[in-house]
Chain A
């Protein structure tokens, strides 16, 4: 049974190959059919696999294709592993991925590199599916690097602008820091446990390591480094806001819905290792909390519609990390899924706004656009409500679960809960600040433009709106995966706690209404003091992290490289070069262009050879 698992990554890969080998010679219609169709087919396969898997009632299914390499006891294979967690991930990736591909067929229609765009997108989906389907960490790492590559290619998609190339390099280099840590983690796990097959590795870890032992802590820390880099958490979060240089569907697919949540998936997948290292698990929660608060502040100070959403993505992944850190594994994955729905919706809505207003990114140059851009307005309204955890939208249920799990934790639980609630308050403010400034109030330009929303762009938006509204009622089948680690005791909390969690985001919305819509409170008065201004600047720059890293790592490295550029090795190679040059100049002299010289040298050579032949 379940023999068609291999089709899932293969279909997008075939799409990628056929697009990249035709090198843009196909008509746009054919490119759209191949690009979006391959993902659509992959979604159908994923659906059928999921239904068969859930109907079979088994805990996990493995499909081995072939052994990748076999060295000593090390033989990772191209093997796919399906359990409840994988089912959720693959459905989100192919489902949301297909909607975004469909949207892109309209969004990118005027781009000259239409085919290149879809080939990268297909490659990304293939790599992402490899990541979540892998049954061993080596194959997972292949997918992990594959999505990193596609992220680089797509951030720098409009490569003629050097700034985009810089943003792409920054994303690549910063995530490389995390990836190196993860690779070291894999080496450590293999050296200690002798296998990289995920399930075997987890069993071996449980059997061999004590809770809180040094090896478990080291392994968990190294894996966490990889997750932090990929998921843009503190201290490696600086690349994500710049990654918005790519086309907006890319931001929706890679930098909101799927790739950046790979870190959450990694931690959930190897959750046994983290349970063996409780101190690291608590660290995960703190990283999540600090990240979600910091990026919440930053999001309130931004002007660029996509940067606001980028910081809100960092903040929402912070919630997922918080959930992972307090051991609410399934709640974190649940939030991953609902976040994929509403953040993809928000980004695609932002794409519609940007495309309709001729690539305007500054929200303060829009205003009053709710009649002019009705579909985008509806997308933002529903996506925004889900993002702020408005009761009975999808985000409400998932965020609720995470916060309740945090509260149930002994020790720092109350502080984590309080921080999460404060974060939700900021979420309300910055989300509705965006909505009020763009869609309400007086128009500040761009009055003539009509909304660009064909069926292939509006359709995915409506589906995502529906999912954002009712996605909270989907129950995800991950209980078996985390069964042994998670306590399923019902949290009995007072209605007061529930009330606080419902009301706090609403207060945030109300404050943002008073400031940005009704005008009863004035932002200018608030900004009058010097302190407020410098605070605004500080938050606008993302807590000065870029400047800090620039001074701490980039500049010293560049200075060191400059110092080192004339070292002994370099001199050795320089010598080789000048020797070759010198020899060349010598031989050039013999090439006079006179035929008689050549004939004479041949004759002389013959005479020498003959003489040698006779005398010897």
Chain B
């Protein structure tokens, strides 16, 4: 299965990463922020898979599995934090949660 050239895979990963980054920078809803972060993480995972296929090494796939677990854990903690934030401030707007400044 040598169908897809690896450059295409990397370009797809870069596009996904950019979409995620723009989402993090522009979105105001924390839930969407979290989702954008997930997209960025998965872009990284895709890059690892592509690299693994290119050099025929298993390390990249191992790394992807780790990112997958990490993402799951991160979402669990992140969602928990969001629920606490919502209970406390009754909002999910990230710009209204700017108390921690110099």
Contacts and interface: CB of A to CB of B under 8 A. Distances in A.
B94 A596 contact: yes
Contact of B102 (A590, A594, A596, A603): A590
B102 A599 contact: no
Interface in A353-409: none
Nearest to B101: A593
Contacts of A596: 24-26, 94-95
Given A587-B102, A588-B102, A589-B102, A594 B25 contact: no
A18 B102 CA distance: 47
For the residues of A in contact with B, the DSSP-based class is: helix
Interface in A568-616: 587-596, 599-600, 603
A444 B94 CA distance: 80
Contacts of A587: 102
Interface residues on A, range: 10 to 19
B31 to A, nearest CB: 14
B21 A591 contact: no
B21 to A, nearest CB: 6
B25 A591 contact: no
Contacts of A590: 102
Contacts of B95: 594, 596
Contact of A603 (B21, B98, B100): B21
B99 interface: yes
B102 A591 contact: yes
Contacts of A594: 94-95, 98
B102 to A, nearest CB: 3
B26 to A, nearest CB: 8
Contact of A595 (B21, B94, B102): B94
B24 A593 contact: no
B25 A593 contact: no
B25 A599 contact: yes
Nearest to B98: A593
B100 A593 contact: yes
Contacts of A591: 101-102
Nearest to A603: B21
Contacts of A600: 25
Contacts of A589: 102
Contacts, number: 31
Nearest to A585: B102
A592 B24 contact: no
B99 A593 contact: yes
A91 B102 CA distance: 66
Interface in A430-452: none
Interface in B19-44: 21, 24-26, 33
B24 A599 contact: yes
Nearest to A595: B94
Contacts of A595: 33, 94, 97-98
A603 B25 contact: yes
A592 B95 CA distance: 10
Output the residue of A590, A595, A600, A603 with the most chain B CB within 10 A. A595
Contacts of B100: 593
A592 B99 CA distance: 9
A190 to B, nearest CB: 57
A66 to B, nearest CB: 55
Nearest to A596: B25
B101 A592 contact: yes
B93 to A, nearest CB: 11
Nearest to B94: A595
A599 B24 CA distance: 8
Contacts of B98: 592-595
A408 to B, nearest CB: 84
A519 to B, nearest CB: 81
A255 B25 CA distance: 76
A587 B102 CA distance: 8
Nearest to B22: A603
Interface in B50-102: 94-95, 97-102
A596 B26 CA distance: 7
A595 B100 CA distance: 10
A591 B100 CA distance: 8
B87 to A, nearest CB: 19
Contacts of B33: 595
A594 B24 CA distance: 12
A589 B102 CA distance: 7
Nearest to A584: B102
Interface string A209-249: 00000000000000000000000000000000000000000
Interface string B3-21: 0000000000000000001
Contacts of B21: 599, 603
A505 B25 CA distance: 99
A600 B24 CA distance: 9
Closest 4 CB pairs of A and B: A588-B102, A593-B101, A593-B98, A591-B102
22 contacts: A587-B102, A589-B102, A590-B102, A592-B98, A592-B101, A592-B102, A593-B98, A593-B99, A593-B100, A594-B94, A594-B95, A595-B33, A595-B94, A596-B24, A596-B25, A596-B26, A599-B21, A599-B24, A599-B25, A600-B25, A603-B21, A603-B25
Given A588-B102, A595-B33, A595-B97, 16 more contacts: A591-B101, A591-B102, A592-B101, A592-B102, A593-B98, A593-B99, A594-B95, A595-B98, A596-B24, A596-B26, A596-B94, A596-B95, A599-B21, A599-B24, A603-B21, A603-B25
